[in-house]
Amino acid sequence: MRIILICIVCFIISLTTPAQQNSLSEKLDAMIEEGIEDWQIPGLTTIVVKDGEIVFKKAYGVKDIESKLPVDENTLFGMASTTKAIIAMSVGILVDQGKINWEDKVIDHLPTFRLSEPYITADARVKDLFTHNLGIGNADWLWIRDSISTTEALKKFQYAKQTYPLRGGFTYQNIMYTVVGELIEAVSGQPWTQFVEENILNPLEMNRTLTISSSLVDAGNYITPYYDDPDEGIVKLGYTFSEQIGPAGMMWSSANDISNYLTFIINQGIFRKDTLLKPETFKYLFKPHAIISQEIYPTQRLIKPNWMTYGLGWFQQDYRGNKLDFHTGSLPGLVAIAGVMHDHNMAVFVFANLDHAEIRHAILYKAIDLYVFNDDSRNWHQEIFNLYSELKEEAIKARKKRENERVLATSPTLDLEEYAGRYHNKMCGIIDVSVFEQNLYLNINDFLYYKTEHWNYDTFITNKDPKWREKFFISFNLNQSGKISGLEFLDERFSKLK
């Protein structure tokens, strides 16, 4: 009897009239407007689909602060890691075509596939490439601090060390999705970019969506990335065109295109009566495949989920007694979030062009509260804004603590010229250290360049990275003979070449 009553209540809630929907949209719009002002977001778009219909779609603000050109529903934003779900769907199509199975060993399709542990290489299955639990440590260095090709990145990836047992933990791993891109090509005979365009984007009429990020300029009507720097205010950032990890997060899309994508998801893999994915394959994408025991998002402190898992390109957790599939996307100056509540035929997507504009989480949960539960009681924007304001304060305190712990009036052990030279790491590449006007300069893979200043002893600190907006420590190691043997930079060890 209790189950019947719950079903009746849920059914009644779903029967919103056009007037009620307008009221819900006005409430969501009001929160977004307030959030944009508080976060100082230049441009943003939000799409909500319910029961196969677009119930909310709106563009806000400007593409570029200087030009003041407005964002519209065809403006391109970075999908970032929300790309991963589309890549998983692409492999699902290959499964439906009988060309591959989720439990196939990766090495059977990609004989060149190598990881640092031979037994993991031998046992890694196709589905494992999506779930961040193969036991290999993070290797984002290969795209954040290098501009090598996909082939070279995957060769170097084999030097990423195992950090936990096979399928016995969770470390977010972008490079595995690069492997998926190569897998798609090996099985289909097409580059992943072409396969996605022909099998997903074209059928879904996502005509503005890009699979090659560097084609953005030719496409036109796109946003500028921004960052809210605590010292400088809102600053413009450069674009991230790291094609070597394209399948992990380099796609771009617009509000209009995403509307079709969400409609396709709500319709369980069907779009305009065309079935892109078989029902069993579509459901497999959203099954929990890996358990997550650690905090992934600070917003979990507000949501307080009882469990968290990962599907194939989707985080999953409970919210108000329902399963929520979602995924964020983050690149310098760009954010996105996608959320789906399958049991209520409801999906949300948010784009913005401000780094760490966490209003995206507020919009997701507010939209669910409004369109699923008809509940306007919680001020999600204020709660999340306060949470991240506290986190910013903690970061400022940590930076001041670090400065207070600096040992003053120390000098490098050796003359600066002794620190100059070439340093090598099998996975991370080359750091060239040079001296100019009594300062050390770093050249990292002919891709990143930093000026440093002395911190204390044999540790130096870089200037602020123009894209990531951080300063980084570099520490030099001396051997028993008092000579420089290597350096440590961002938790990676480099040996000095003779």
Question: For 341-357, what is each residue's pLDDT tens digit?
Answer: 999 999 999 999 999 99
Instruction: Kindly state the tokens that stand for 361.
Output: 């989480």
**Would you state the pLDDT for residue 16?**
54
**Would you state the pLDDT for residue 18?**
66
What are 165-205's pLDDT values in tens digits?
999 999 999 999 999 999 999 999 999 999 999 999 999 99
Mean pLDDT of the chain: 95
Contacts of residues 378-385 at CB distance under 8 Å and 24 or more positions apart, as own/partner, are 379/31, 380/31, 381/31, 381/34, 381/35, 381/38, 383/302, 384/299, 384/302, 384/358, 384/359, 385/35, 385/38, 385/39, 385/358, 385/359
End-to-end CA distance of the chain: 79
Domain ranges of the chain: 2-394, 416-496
**Would you state the pLDDT for residue 102?**
98
Q: Which whole-number Å values give the CA distances from 48 to 12, 166, 438, in the listed order?
A: 20, 38, 56
CATH of domain 2-394: 3.40.710.10
User: 416-496 sits in which CATH class?
Assistant: mainly beta
**Would you state the pLDDT for residue 20?**
73
Parts of the chain with a pLDDT under 50: 1-9, 11-15
